Structure 1
Amino acid sequence: MAVSSCSLSWTSPCVSHKLNLPHSNHLPRITSTSHSNNVSCATETTSSEESHSQRRLLLLGIGAITANLQPTRLLFAEEIPDRYRAFVDYSDGYSYVYPSDWKEFDFRAHDSAFKDRYLQLQNVRVRFLPTEKKDIRDMGPIEEVVPNLVKHKYSTPTQISTIYDMQEKNIDGKHYYTFEYVLTSPNFSSASFTTVAIGNGRYYTLIVGANERRWKRVRNQLKVVADSFRLLDI
């Protein structure tokens, strides 16, 4: 019996390990590329066995797409906030959101960074270092860890550091320390939120900050960035 049939050639799509996704009311879609994804159709005589085989190939292809989309669907079960974009790094195991009008830039010794288009001191950056620790709490309680970091890691001998808030969060079994502080120099002061976490054999640090004179205006906006940092299993 003559029927219209399709022959399908399929290669699993390659999904980028780093995604930069805009705000959306729906789950974001991955932009994927495929080395081979060709469908040719013709009217020919075919057996029921051939038809069954072709349907099976099509289903396998659809399954491959679904499998690649699943991590992003799970990650963005919640909507990306309005006026923010999401940065997702599957290779290095982390994600966060940042204001949608910021642009990417190179920040020395950091894995990713974005800044305000006009105010360069208003920015977010992420870095990580190898560690044998399994959880941020292995470094000690937040009341001890944060003052030590701010005084000895983030400030210089000529700066006065002031910590305003410290928060510990447990999200999906992973722990995060987020804290707010100001560093005051003789001629300049900056304010920041920092989130630190440990996973994947790495110690991650996200810092988002601005000039202290603008802090009251941008604090709530930047707090969204600090609170959005998530570890991804790699």
Structure 2
Amino acid sequence: MAVSTSCFSWVPTTASNWKLRLLPFNEPSTATSSFSSCSTINCSTEKTSREEGHCNRRPLLLGVGALATSLLAASPLFAEVPKNYRAFVDSTDGYSYYYPSDWREFDFRAHDSAFKDRYLQLQNVRVKFIPTEKKDIHEEGSLDEVVNFLVKHRYAAPNQKATIYDMKERTIDGRNYYTFEYKLSSRAFSRTSFATIAIANGRYYTLVVGANDRRWRRYRDMLKVVADSFRVLDI
């Protein structure tokens, strides 16, 4: 279900690093336009250390009409967007995912993209990547080895207890993904999350989506859709 950059050949060649966020057709558009729907396109300039930093994005509202229809027809990603979700596609950095349609974009340090609940900032999704010479997540180790190392030695702070609830491996369009559910807790605070990791394009991608522990049971299924939707794209 990969989306190639050719789907976005209409983007002006003078722009650098376009990111596209397409509103589902079942959601009314707020843009004043003669077209029936709109897309939000975020443009950011390249930074010296693009792999390690994040970009300040500036949204532009454009009427797309028939153009949006052609994008939907060309990409299964757009055609299958669940109700109450939107698709975020970064064809420059090579990844995509769904996020709840009422979430808002925000800057999260050292991450390439991030969205959060409009009222609950700790209920959010974010994506980052780092350079790697590896070609596949299997080169990092088995599912059990990689997940246990990440959660206990990378994600957890010294004062936090790490609990892993579930982990699974998937292969989609020839790409391998590890997705896992885990909880980090301390005396003052607990947060439960899903993470999906994959390697492609010389990059190690990580998506994390979570909520505080009190709200996890209520929103778990909604957040799982986000984690399972993550895809890496050829760039």
Q: TM-score range with shorter-chain normalisation?
A: 0.7 to 0.9
Higher helix share: 1
Question: Does the 8 Å contact 1:20/1:86 carry over to 2?
Answer: yes
Partner in structure 2 of residue 81 of structure 1: 82
Deviations 1:99-144 (A, max 9, x none): 0000000000000000000000000000000000000111010011
> Matched residues in 1 for 2:133 and 2:169: separation?
21
CA displacement at 1:78 relative to structure 2: 4.0
CA displacement at 1:73 relative to structure 2: 1.7
Partner in structure 1 of residue 105 of structure 2: 104
Deviations 1:152-210 (A, max 9, x none): 11001110000000010000000000000000111110000000000000000000000
> Matched residues in 1 for 2:91 and 2:82: separation?
20
Partner in structure 1 of residue 11 of structure 2: 14
- Judging changes above 3 Å, is the alpha-carbon distance between structure 1 residues 94 and 72 closer, same or farther for their aligned structure 2 residues? farther
Q: TM-score, normalized by length of structure 2?
A: 0.74
Deviation >2 Å, runs of 4+? 12-17, 28-32, 69-72, 74-78
Is the partner of 1:182 in helix, strand or coil? Answer: strand
> Matched residues in 2 for 1:198 and 1:71: separation?
26
Q: Identity over aligned residues, as a percent?
A: 63
Gaps of 5+ in 1: 1-11, 33-64
- Judging changes above 3 Å, is the alpha-carbon distance between structure 1 residues 186 and 95 closer, same or farther for their aligned structure 2 residues? same
Partner in structure 2 of residue 198 of structure 1: 199
- Judging changes above 3 Å, is the alpha-carbon distance between structure 1 residues 134 and 125 closer, same or farther for their aligned structure 2 residues? same
Higher strand share: 1
Question: Does the 8 Å contact 1:22/1:80 carry over to 2?
Answer: no
Question: Does the 8 Å contact 1:123/1:209 carry over to 2?
Answer: yes
- Judging changes above 3 Å, is the alpha-carbon distance between structure 1 residues 233 and 30 closer, same or farther for their aligned structure 2 residues? farther
Partner in structure 1 of residue 210 of structure 2: 209
Question: Does the 8 Å contact 2:72/2:79 carry over to 1?
Answer: no
> Matched residues in 2 for 1:158 and 1:31: separation?
41
Note the 1:1-234 alignment, pairs <5 A: 13-14=10-11, 17-24=18-25, 73-76=74-77, 78-234=79-235
Gaps of 5+ in 2: 1-8, 27-36, 42-65
Structure 1, 129-138 or 14-23: larger mean CA deviation: 14-23
Question: Does the 8 Å contact 2:196/2:228 carry over to 1?
Answer: yes
> Matched residues in 2 for 1:213 and 1:71: separation?
37
Amino acid at match of 1:218: Y
